[in-house]
């Protein structure tokens, strides 16, 4: 009997055994490793902003915005020759554009039809530029579209100067359009750009909008582009004069918005309803008063959950907020609500309190990337020690402002997570003195604290061999953990961004204290 009579799935060629399953495994493993290497190469070359991707906490509440989501879905999936390849969803601040874009993004990601996603945000103005958006979208496409990564690498290898170009048009054509033309892929693909109006460089923003509108038709027909934006003047001008008009939808014209806001409010108020503190009719009244502004309803719900003063009566707070509803003639529909919330927390007649408020919030808004309360306080203390004011005192080491602003800012409930406005309209309100009045914030104050604080922290904490490595000739497998221990977030921030804050202030504002 043959020793190999029961063996299966192998062949013998010139005395060499070849196991078919083993070869398949090796081939699969090889392909996986090859793709991993390609992805790593793309990440290294393009430096994508992964934090500008879909955020689960920004999605619509399930069961809301059904009609517009279905309309966009049909537009993506049914690609006919005469169908526009760009779709602009526009509307005022606070109407829920971003929630729709994040929901659409998640839906198409599950369907393997998401080409790329990038969310602009003025809070991250130092990182989320138009060029970074294109690089991130190209990276997304490399991950999501078979063959795109190889085509993109071929383009970059052929012309290594592409990545150094400052031209938005060149970046778009070389990193997105050209590889798309090289790949044979026919499944529906949507590329989503959220909050385009928050691209802070107006010239770059204009170039990106032009590329999107004028060149969308050059892509294969299965590619389409969804953009959400406020209609700033420069954006309107480009849309009105473009030769290939995109499809568009006005948030103000969406149906069932009041019903959707009611569902959201009822969901957020379940705790109060169970306790009989509020009732369903309160939810309906609030939804009606919102006048289509999801952000207004969201902020009221947050404010009702905040306990800012002892003995505050929930129903009285609710009644007060109901007097602050937006209306169609208001240019800035959320301002009254924001001002009322600030007035309920801070005594504007107390100059000490207002000084604390202005210093804290100016730091938050001036920061190039969001910082935690711990980092903000450390930078403020460093600034205070240099100038010999009250920030050098032991009792001032805890934040006394940000922790009370949970209805307006993210990250206030824990000291070690980044803090930023829950919505861009809050930032806009605070930086416009005509709108925010006594609560107005001057960014120069924040830049001064961050510039001086950063310099002081670097002078004090930077030294040779920060991670206390025993030898520079020996590999350090645990180096990332050593970096975390040795370099605090505020020191890392100071090293990366001190120059940006220094550029934003006058020399005299930083020279005091460094003369010696």
Query: Tens digits of per-residue pLDDT, 241-282?
Result: 887 888 999 999 999 999 999 999 999 999 999 999 999 999
pLDDT digits 0-9 by tens, 164-173: 999 999 999 9
Mean pLDDT of the chain: 88
Lowest mean pLDDT among 66-75, 168-177, 231-240, 359-368: 231-240
Average pLDDT for residues 104-129, to the nearest whole number? 95
- Judge whether residue 16 has pLDDT over 70: no
* Number of H-type helices and E-type strands within the chain: 23, 10
Residue 474: per-residue pLDDT: 65
Say how many CA atoms lie within 13 Å of 440 toward its Cβ. 10
Residue 7: per-residue pLDDT: 54
Tally Cβ neighbours within 10 Å of residue 41: 16
Compute the distance between CA of residue 303 and CA of residue 481 in angstroms, rounded to an integer: 39
Contact between residue 406 and residue 306 where contact means Cβ atoms under 8 Å apart: yes
Residue 222: per-residue pLDDT: 95
Contact between residue 449 and residue 383 where contact means Cβ atoms under 8 Å apart: yes
Lowest mean pLDDT among 28-42, 215-229, 386-400: 386-400
- Judge whether residue 114 has pLDDT over 90: yes
- Judge whether residue 161 has pLDDT over 50: yes
Residue 306: per-residue pLDDT: 85
Compute the distance between CA of residue 427 and CA of residue 432 in angstroms, rounded to an integer: 9
Q: Rounded to the nearest 5°, which phi and psi values hold at 228?
A: -115, 145
- Judge whether residue 506 has pLDDT over 90: no
Residue 11: per-residue pLDDT: 55
Confidence of residue 491 (pLDDT cuts 50, 70, 90): very high
Please name each of the domains of the chain with its CATH number: 47-253 (3.40.50.300), 257-345 (no CATH), 351-511 (no CATH)
Compute the distance between CA of residue 213 and CA of residue 204 in angstroms, rounded to an integer: 14
Portion of the chain with pLDDT greater than 70, in percent: 86
Joined tokens for residue 321: 């907020």
Portion of the chain with pLDDT greater than 90, in percent: 70
Compute the distance between CA of residue 457 and CA of residue 495 in angstroms, rounded to an integer: 9
Say how many CA atoms lie within 13 Å of 288 toward its Cβ. 8
Lowest mean pLDDT among 106-115, 208-217, 411-420, 477-486: 477-486
Residue 396: per-residue pLDDT: 52
- Judge whether residue 512 has pLDDT over 60: no
Residue 153: per-residue pLDDT: 94
3-state secondary structure 47-108: CCCHHHCCCHHHCCCCCCCHHHHHHHHHHHHCCCCCCCCEEEEECCCCCCHHHHHHHHHHHH
Contact between residue 134 and residue 171 where contact means Cβ atoms under 8 Å apart: yes
Coil, strand or helix: which one is 388? coil
Strand ranges for 96-172 from DSSP E: 114-119
Region of 242 on the Ramachandran plot (φ > 0 left; ψ -120 to 50 alpha; else beta): beta
Model pTM above 0.95: no
Average pLDDT for residues 174-201, to the nearest whole number? 96
Residue 28: per-residue pLDDT: 52
Lowest mean pLDDT among 95-109, 160-174, 214-228, 468-482: 468-482
Cα-to-chain-centroid distance, residue 47: 16
The residue among 102 and 18 whose pLDDT is bigger is 102
Lowest mean pLDDT among 232-236, 402-406, 439-443: 232-236
Confidence of residue 395 (pLDDT cuts 50, 70, 90): very low
Q: CA separation (Å) from 57 to 108, 115, 406?
A: 17, 21, 16
Lowest mean pLDDT among 4-8, 132-136, 436-440: 4-8
Residue 498: per-residue pLDDT: 95
Joined tokens for residue 333: 């529909």
Joined tokens for residue 75: 């537009």
């Amino acid at each position: 009997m043959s020793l190999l009579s029961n063996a299966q799935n192998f062949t013998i060629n010139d005395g060499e055994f070849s196991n078919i399953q083993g070869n398949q495994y090796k081939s699969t493993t090889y392909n996986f490793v090859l793709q991993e290497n390609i992805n790593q190469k793309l990440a290294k070359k393009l430096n994508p902003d992964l934090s500008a991707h879909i955020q689960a906490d920004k999605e619509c509440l399930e069961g809301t915005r059904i009609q517009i989501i279905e309309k966009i879905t049909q537009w993506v999936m049914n690609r006919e020759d005469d169908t526009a390849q760009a779709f602009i969803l526009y509307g005022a601040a606070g109407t829920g554009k971003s929630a729709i874009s994040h929901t659409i993004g998640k839906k198409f990601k599950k369907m393997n039809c998401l080409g790329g996603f990038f969310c602009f945000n003025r809070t991250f103005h130092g990182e989320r530029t138009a060029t970074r958006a294109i690089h991130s979208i190209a990276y997304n496409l490399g991950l999501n579209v078979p063959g795109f990564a190889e085509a993109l690498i071929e383009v970059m290898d052929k012309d290594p100067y592409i990545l150094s170009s400052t031209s938005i048009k060149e970046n778009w054509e070389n990193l997105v359009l050209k590889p798309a033309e090289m790949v044979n892929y026919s499944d529906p693909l949507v590329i989503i750009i959220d909050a385009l109006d928050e691209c802070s460089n107006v010239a770059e923003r204009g170039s990106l909008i032009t590329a999107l509108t004028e060149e969308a038709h050059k892509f294969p027909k299965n590619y389409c582009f969804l953009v959400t934006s406020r209609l700033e003047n420069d954006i309107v001008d480009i849309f009105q004069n473009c030769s290939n008009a995109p499809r568009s939808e006005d948030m103000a014209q969406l149906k069932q918005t009041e019903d959707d806001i009611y569902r959201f409010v009822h969901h957020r108020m379940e705790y109060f309803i169970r306790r009989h503190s509020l009732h369903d009719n309160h939810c309906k009244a609030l939804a009606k008063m919102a006048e289509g502004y999801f952000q207004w309803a969201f902020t009221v719900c947050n404010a009702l959950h905040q306990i800012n003063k002892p003995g505050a009566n929930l129903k009285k707070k609710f009644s007060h907020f109901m007097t602050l509803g937006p209306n169609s003639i208001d240019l800035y529909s959320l301002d009254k609500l924001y001002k009322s919330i600030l007035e309920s927390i801070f005594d504007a007649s107390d100059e000490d309190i207002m000084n604390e408020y202005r210093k804290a919030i100016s730091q938050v808004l001036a920061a190039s990337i969001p910082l935690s309360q711990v980092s903000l306080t450390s930078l403020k203390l460093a600034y205070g020690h240099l100038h010999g004011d009250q920030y050098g005192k032991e009792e001032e080491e805890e934040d006394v402002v940000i922790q009370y602003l949970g209805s307006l800012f993210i990250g206030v409930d824990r000291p070690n997570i980044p803090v930023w406005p829950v919505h861009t309209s809050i930032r806009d309100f605070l930086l416009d003195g005509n709108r925010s009045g006594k609560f107005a914030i001057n960014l120069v104050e924040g830049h001064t604290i961050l510039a001086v604080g950063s310099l002081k922290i670097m002078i004090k904490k930077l030294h040779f061999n920060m991670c206390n490595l025993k030898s520079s000739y020996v590999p350090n497998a645990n180096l990332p953990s050593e970096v975390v221990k040795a370099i605090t977030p505020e020191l890392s921030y100071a090293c990366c961004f001190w120059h940006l804050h220094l550029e934003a202030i006058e020399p005299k504002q930083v020279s005091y204290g460094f003369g010696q």
